Amino acid sequence: MSDEIHTKKPTGHDVIQDFLKTLDGSPGVYRMLDGKGAVLYVGKARNLRARVSSYARPTGHSPRIARMIGETASMMVLTTRTETEALLLEQNLIKQLKPRYNVLLRDDKSFPNILVSKAHRFPQIKKHRGAKREAGDYFGPFASAGAVNRTLNQLQKVFLLRNCSDATFESRTRPCLLYKIKRCSAPCVGYIDEAGYDALVRDAERFLRGRTTKVQETLAEEMRAASDAMEFERAAALRDRLKALTFVQGAQAVNPAGVAEADVIALHLEGGQACVQVFFIRANQNWGNRDYYPRTGAGAEASEVMQAFIGQFYDDKDPPRQLLLSDPIEDADLMAEALSAKLGRKVEILVPQRGEKKELVAGALRNARESLARKMSETATQAKLLRGVGEAFDLDGPPSRIEVYDNSHIQGTNAVGGMIVAGPEGFLKSQYRKFNIKDTELTPGDDFGMMREVLTRRFKRLLKEDPDRQSDAWPDLLLIDGGAGQVSAVHEVLSELGVEDVPMVGVAKGVDRDAGKEEFHRHGARPFALRRGDPVLYFIQRMRDEAHRFAIGAHRAKRSKAVGATPLDDVPGVGATRKRALLAHFGSAKAVSRAGLEDLKAVDGVSAALAQTIYDFFHEKG
């Protein structure tokens, strides 16, 4: 048996030169891999051989690309039929693999819409987020829940549409407060007929499509007609609606006359960091804006950052008819073709040079510049606080990932553990985790036992998924809400798992449980305190309070779900819709359990077979 000789894998231009021999001129996607097989970079090419050969040259690269080439130990390629397919595959792989040298869009959340639901004879208007499965007309996207709520508030004032649920609607016997404050036309109690309500719905949809002039003309005509017919009460109501509509139009921010539907996307780069500001223009109205801070792949140019942002941003969203950009992208025609195919109609990508569109981009660019300046200032402050934490707790350096744990329960019921994460960019909400306490043998209210379970589950998973600690998922510091007892319980868990090198500190309320007098506990050391007024102390308090808020929120959600649970939840074949139908028909779960077979068959949506299942379920239990 011969001795194995371990040598470091060769990297750099020679590796790429050898790989070129296997390539032809097909379009496709290539991946650069380091010596451990981790993906360094994903790129697309119209001609794979020509594109990859550019990396085989020893000179002429930016510092970023030169570093990437120097780390490349192997490559992979996937050929595609067209360059458009390669573009889409490239962006999917970047989002999935998060390579170090690619531009990566982070914090990509879904956007809320307004839904005019058509499942009921009197349509409901409401905020909607997620898949568009419900029947009705959707309007959006809006930049935030706040932007949707403001628009819904305006729509209620002007068009008097209901926002109550169908169940509430059906159960009302007198109008609610919204009718009294002139925010609803009270169709629930017959104060408006179906035809009249449909007219309001049509007007609201015209408004959301930008046809406000037509709505104003209609309201003015109806007001004059009511006045001529001496229906002064109706004329006054129409006057109030017209006044509200005029106020809404005056109160809205930038409302471009010549841009009906577009996303305005502006990029500002500074010091290797990027901010992309997106304004949503729909129906000639500004429906809000949002800023993003994509990772720049260690120094990408503006065109690459912008192209990556657009490809990843619209991966799971429908694009508008126009994208107005501050910077050109390399493959504008290709991107427009891909987005047009996704939308099913033409999408234009423009870098406006004059006029109203140029002004819109300039406004978005100003916002991007100001947002990045604030972000960089906050980041500098955060870095200073993290250095202070490292010094206060004798760490090797400033922690990049702090995990803070807390439990929430009421006398042991609906117990939930919460973990929040903080780092150089503040609170990382996408990394938060909740832990439903599963151990049925725990004494109710056993906080030590709960913390043991939470930490055991957390670190067992870490050890399974990343035993070599290659990822940034491993914490540099654990903060535990509690004193010496909690610290001892957590130390015991980590020791059993063989995790001896993750620093851990317990944060106890201290004398009189007074904020500012916190004591810090470490295993095998005397407790100590930070001086009152120390910024690091305030930072730790903020992290502890955030963990407490998150744990309480998870606990309340679990408790609310438990309160709403009924025996019907356990009946096979009874989902949310049939559960609602049964409760509406019989009034309570107890009444359902006592119902006869023929009565169950009489419920809408309940087949004879399901009625038998429900009947058998409760009789077997009884």
Least confident of 94-103, 269-278, 553-562, 609-618: 553-562
List the 125-128 sheet strands across, edge first. 125-128, 113-117, 136-139
Residue whose pair of structure tokens reads 């690269």 in the numeric block? 61
Q: What is the pTM of this model?
A: 0.70
Assess contact for 121 and 194: CB atoms under 8 A.
yes
280, 288 contact by CB (below 8 A): yes
For residues 95 and 49, the answer to whether their CB atoms sit within 8 Å is: no
Q: Taking a C-beta distance cutoff of 8 angstroms, is the pair 331, 88 a contact?
A: no
Q: Select from 355, 373, 391 the last residue of a domain.
A: 373
Separation of alpha carbons 352 and 360, rounded Å: 9
pLDDT at 137 over 70: yes
pLDDT at 368: 94
The confidence score (pLDDT) of residue 338 equals 92
Is pLDDT of 221 > 70?
A: yes
Helix (H) or strand (E) holding 591: helix 589-594
pLDDT score recorded for residue 4: 41
Note the pLDDT of residue 573. 79
Secondary structure letter of residue 177 according to DSSP: H
Is the pLDDT reported for residue 565 higher than 70? no
Interval 585-612 mean pLDDT: 84
> How does residue 153 score in pLDDT terms, banded at 50, 70 and 90?
confident
Q: Give pLDDT, residue 3.
A: 41
Give 295's strand partners: 104
Reported confidence tier of residue 253, pLDDT bands at 50, 70, 90: very low
Does 317 fall in a domain? Answer: yes
φ, ψ (nearest 5 deg) of residue 331 = -115, 60
CATH of the domain at 482: 3.30.420.340
Question: What pLDDT is stored for residue 307 in this prediction?
Answer: 94
Q: Which band of pLDDT confidence, cut at 50, 70 and 90, is reported for residue 622?
A: very low
Instruction: Look up the CATH number of the domain holding residue 319.
Output: 3.30.420
How far is the C-alpha of 263 from the C-alpha of 314, rounded, in Å? 11
Q: Are residues 557 and 444 part of one domain?
A: yes
Beta bridge partner(s), residue 504: 478
Q: Are residues 79 and 173 in the same domain?
A: no
Averaged pLDDT for residues 562-578: 71
- Residue 114, number of CB atoms within 10 A of its CB: 24
Q: Kindly give the interhelix angle for 212-228 and 194-208, rounded to the nearest 10 degrees.
A: 140
Contact 388, 535 (CB under 8 A): yes
Does residue 242 sit in the same domain as residue 139?
yes
Asked whether residue 545 is assigned to any structural domain, the reply reads yes
Model confidence at 411, in pLDDT bands (50, 70, 90)? low
Can you read off the two tokens belonging to residue 122?
Answer: 């009197």
The confidence score (pLDDT) of residue 564 equals 54
**pLDDT of amino acid 5:** 42
| CATH code at position 598 | 1.10.150.20
At position 2, the amino acid (one-letter code) is: S
Residue 310 lies in a domain: yes
Range picked from 102-106, 350-354, 490-494 for highest mean pLDDT:
350-354
89 within a domain of the structure (yes/no): yes
pLDDT on residue 325: 97
Residue 546 has pLDDT above 60, yes or no: yes
User: Cβ(337)–Cβ(361) under 8 Å?
Assistant: no
Closest by Cα among 405, 385, 451, 341 to 548: 405
For residues 355 and 436, membership in a common domain is answered with no
Q: What is the pLDDT of residue 450?
A: 84
CATH code: domain of residue 49: 3.40.1440.10
Residue 529 has pLDDT above 80, yes or no: yes
Question: Domain end: 224, 251, 278, which one?
Answer: 251
Binned at pLDDT 50, 70 and 90, residue 562 comes out as: low
Query: 439 and 494, same structural domain?
Result: yes
56, pLDDT greater than 50: yes
Summarised one tens digit per residue, pLDDT across range 64-82 is 899 999 999 999 999 999 9
Residue 379 lies in a domain: no
Strands 113-117 and 136-139, sheet pairing:
antiparallel
Work out the average pLDDT over 608-613: 88
- Name the least confident of 74-88, 266-280, 459-473, 500-514: 500-514
Task: Please tell me whether residues 25 and 62 are part of one structural domain.
Answer: yes
Same domain, 225 and 139: yes
What does the mean pLDDT of the chain come to?
85
- pLDDT at residue 2 is higher than 50: no
Name the pLDDT band for 263 (thresholds 50, 70, 90).
very high
603 has pLDDT over 80: yes
* Tokens, residue 424: 């150089």
Which has the closest alpha carbon to 301: 62, 513, 124, 75? 62
Q: What is the DSSP code (8-state) at residue 293? A: -
Both 190 and 212 in one domain: the answer is yes
User: How far, in Å, are 17, 217, 283 from residue 210 at the CA level?
Assistant: 57, 14, 4
Cβ distance 312 to 339 under 8 Å? no
580, pLDDT greater than 90: no
Q: Is residue 76 part of a domain?
A: yes
Confidence at residue 315, expressed as pLDDT on a 0 to 100 scale: 87
Which range among 98-112, 404-418, 517-531, 588-602 has the greatest average pLDDT? 517-531
- Whether residues 577 and 546 share a domain: the answer is no
**What is the count of structural domains for the chain?**
5
**Residues 424, 537 share a domain:** yes
Residue 177 has a pLDDT of 87
CA distance 208 to 488: 59
Virtual CA dihedral for 612, 613, 619, 620, nearest 10 degrees?
A: 140
Q: Which of 407, 501, 422, 410 is nearest to 455 (CA)?
A: 407
SS3 of residue 562 by DSSP = helix
pLDDT at 118: 86
DSSP string computed for 192-244: S-HHHHHHHHHHHHHHHTT-HHHHHHHHHHHHHHHHHTT-HHHHHHHHHHHHH
Sign of CA dihedral 383, 386, 387, 388: positive
Same-domain status, 191 and 312: no
> Residue 230's CB: how many other CB atoms inside 10 A?
8
Assess if residue 443 is contained within a domain: yes
Whether residues 216 and 362 share a domain: the answer is: no
Task: Tell which residue, 417, 438, 446, 413, has the closest CA to residue 560.
Answer: 413
Domain termination site, one of 206, 231, 251: 251
| DSSP secondary structure string for all residues of 105-143 | --------EEEEE-SSSS--EEEE-S---SSEEEE---S
Helix then strand count (H, E) for the chain reads 20, 18
Q: Tell me the C-alpha distance between 469 and 465, whole Å.
A: 9
Evaluate whether 318 touches 343 at the Cβ level (below 8 Å): yes
357: Cβ–Cβ under 8 A, 6 or more apart, which residues?
A: 256, 258, 259, 262, 324, 350
Structural domain containing residue 280: 261-373
Highest mean pLDDT among 2-6, 181-185, 266-270, 434-438: 266-270
Tell me how far apart the alpha carbons of residues 305 and 474 are, in angstroms, rounded to a whole number.
29
pLDDT confidence bin for 401, thresholds 50/70/90: very high
Of residues 486 and 562, more confidently modeled: 486
Domain-located, residue 393 = no
